[in-house]
Amino acid sequence: MRFDSPAGKNPADRMTVLGRSTPRIEGPLKTTGTAAYAYERYEVAEKQLIGYPLGSAIAKGRVVSMDTQEAEAAPGVVAVVTTLDMDRLPKVQWNIAYLFGGREIQHYHQAIAVVVAKSFEEARAAAGLIRVEYEEDSDSTYDLAAARERQVQETVEPISSVGDFEGAFAVAPVKLDETYTTPAQCHAQMEPHATIAQWNGDNLTLWTSNQMIEWSRQALSTTFDLPPDNFRLDSPYIGGGFGVKLFLRADAILAALGARRTGRSVKVALPRPMIANNTTHRGMTIQRIRIGADEDGRITAISHDNSSNTLPGGEGEEGARPTRHFYAGENRLMIHRPAVMHLPESNAMRAPGDTAGLMALEIAMDEMAEKLDMDPVEFRVVNDTQVDPENPDRPFSQRRFVECLRRGAEAFDWSSRNTEPGRLRDGEWLIGHGVAGAYRGAPAAASGARVRLRPNGSALVETDMTDIGTGSYTIIAQTAAEMLGLPIEQVDVDLGDSRAPVSSGSGGQWGAASSTAGVYAACVALRKKIAERMDVDADELEFADGSVRHGGTQTPLTGLTDGQEIVAEDSIEFGDFRTQEYLLSTFGAHFTEVAVHRATAEIRVRRMLAVCDAGRILNPLTARSQVIGAMTMGVGGALMEGMEVDQRRGFFVNHDLASYEVPIHADIPEQEVIFLEGGDPYSTPLKAKGVGELGICGVSAAVANAIYNATGVRVRDYPITLDKLLRDLPAV
């Protein structure tokens, strides 16, 4: 099925199952510990051996030699595979760093060996016995500030330039010119990267934890130089990903190499320090933002100049991305400067570009509002736009940002907020209120599914779509139930197996909207097959209560199968009209209240509100869960999360959950989420968009703005820790 015109009225519009708050159908399995994650798939392969990885102790250079004799002689060891045993393995474009093979070292903790043993303890102990000699390159730099100083002296091609920014900024009556920094951040998902691998001749099966099944199947084909059909991936449950599991990672390669060497099944999980230094992270940024406005508060000039670390061939964190489309302004200049560093790979992390970019932009918008003596909400309202600022001939398909701001201000009682920084107190605590806008695109990707109507009248949906804790099982079941007129209890869903039709996968805020559209397409195909059996037009059929109605007759679905399954398969493909004629995006507004202790600068977030404009919400319960989880991550980004770089050795020092701090229950207050009602017909046949990444966009800035409102101390360097406030707090 091709989606090449706006969605009209269709069977999904009934909203008898879709649109309802439905508990996650796999929830009981997860809460009882019976949902088997990758490392726990004990039943899938016999006599599983354990692999333990060894990572490089240098950030750039070469491996000269590796002495594995002691490791190979250690108790329980079955095999040792080293990077010197083979040439560098090929990679696909989605990976920036190479995953294994050869002498070259590109970053710290790059995998250089795997020890395979009978137990985890034996493998880990033996890995420590490998003696490695390195030749280290000493010309690497890991200082983004120093790289930025060099970069700004160089001419760079803007990623976007409209009008005459420099001229308009020079004559603007009110101006802002400030620089903001964000640190590297770690995904820190609960489930580590883990894989069980087993070869059968030239065919490899991986039971793994991966967001994008087909991407990794293609990557394995490239790496091992075998046809894609030789690889099967199975990933039914994933304990968090946030982007770090979009791509093939070292756990899968090491498990496959260990299994090939031993002729046995091998499982590998990356230790927590290797998740930080071997996989991917959100790149650090330095962002200069300049805004010029007239005295009425209308932006006349806006520029966002962003630098971010990356390995050679990467882009880093593209912080200027959201500024391109969020606010009005005729004269615009957007610049992105990748800074090559041999730190671990900087790649996708929840709302890449938008998260870090809005951490800066939404502080700048507040600072500009203060210069104009305007309410921060009203300043954003004044600079709303219903067309793409870079191309006024291309309208937004749907943009209700102003409504997000208005609804949020009313629900949060914004009119009663603290209006004078540092003046509102509650005992020993300074109280502040902050707001920030949220912006994220609404992409969609081709996605397929297979639907089986069983003889007993129940249905089975099969697709390689994944559930990374987002509720994919539930919204896919809801979609099929809606389309086939079944209660959700009569729909089973199989996810994450590469033997099923290729889906969009989970990532980029496209997963929910795309995968449900693929199920919609498969259900349309199934309805047509049923119509053919009944010798009627499919558009004349009504599916409800486990039956098919036509005219005055009602036929149970069980009476249509003749004891055999009816099977239909299809994919959704998206026409160019979505991106060429319209700009599809999601919007939101975040409001926060914080308390800062007037003597110690201890920060407490008291309450939070998010108002989201994301098309039709397929399941308000799971959507809310996504948004409050994203809001929690935003609090972490504002107050505590940041990976510290060892400038001499080129690695992230705080590479475990003891030293990389993330929010816990005590840090998270009352959270409220409001969804604006109404679907976007330009998005998908279901008129839905993603919301899981929108929820993090702007949150950190809302917290930062509230801290300023509480204390009068403006911090432009994340995370906002006590030391950045103490010196300048109002006198006790």
Q: State how far the Cα of 436 lies from the Cα of 458, in Å rounded to an integer.
A: 46
Tell me which residue has tokens 């999980």: 269
Q: Are 254 and 53 in contact (CB under 8 A)?
A: yes
Structure tokens at 405: 């701001």
The residues, ordered by sequence, that sit 6+ positions from 32 with a Cβ below 8 Å of its Cβ are none
**Contacts of 31 by beta carbon, 8 Å cutoff, 6+ apart:** none
Q: Is 540 a catalytic residue?
A: no
Q: How far is CA 239 from CA 75, 83, 469, 497, in A?
A: 32, 29, 6, 16
Q: How far is CA 550 from CA 480, 481, 482, 559, in A?
A: 20, 19, 17, 14
Burial of 454 (0-12, 13-18, 19+ CB in 10 A): middle
Residue with tokens 């004078």: 420
- Listed residue (199, 203, 206, 243) closest to 226, CA to CA: 203
Q: Report helix, strand or coil for 541.
A: coil
The count of other CB atoms within 10 Å of the CB of residue 177 is: 12
Annotated catalytic residue, options 191, 317, 462, 693: 693
Token reading at 618: 């397929």
Taking a C-beta distance cutoff of 8 angstroms, is the pair 509, 445 a contact? no
Place of tokens 């099923």: 500
Q: Residue 615 has which token pair?
A: 């098309």
Q: Which one, of 674, 677, 604, lies nearest residue 635 by Cα?
A: 604
What gap in Å lies between CA 70 and CA 66, rounded to an integer? 11
* H or E element, residue 379: helix 376-382
DSSP-assigned states of every residue in 456-517: TS-EEEEE----SSS-HHHHHHHHHHHHHT--GGGEEEEESBTTSPP---S-TTTHHHHHHH
- The Cα–Cα gap between 499 and 517 comes to 20
Q: Name every residue whose Cβ is closer than 8 Å to that of residue 226 and which is 6 or more positions away in sequence.
A: 202, 204, 220
Residue 85 to residue 62: CA distance in whole angstroms: 14
Q: Is the dihedral of CA 267, 97, 229, 214 positive or negative?
A: positive
| H and E: helices and strands count for the chain | 16, 35
**What DSSP string describes 691-703?**
-TTGGGTTHHHHH
Active-site positions read 693
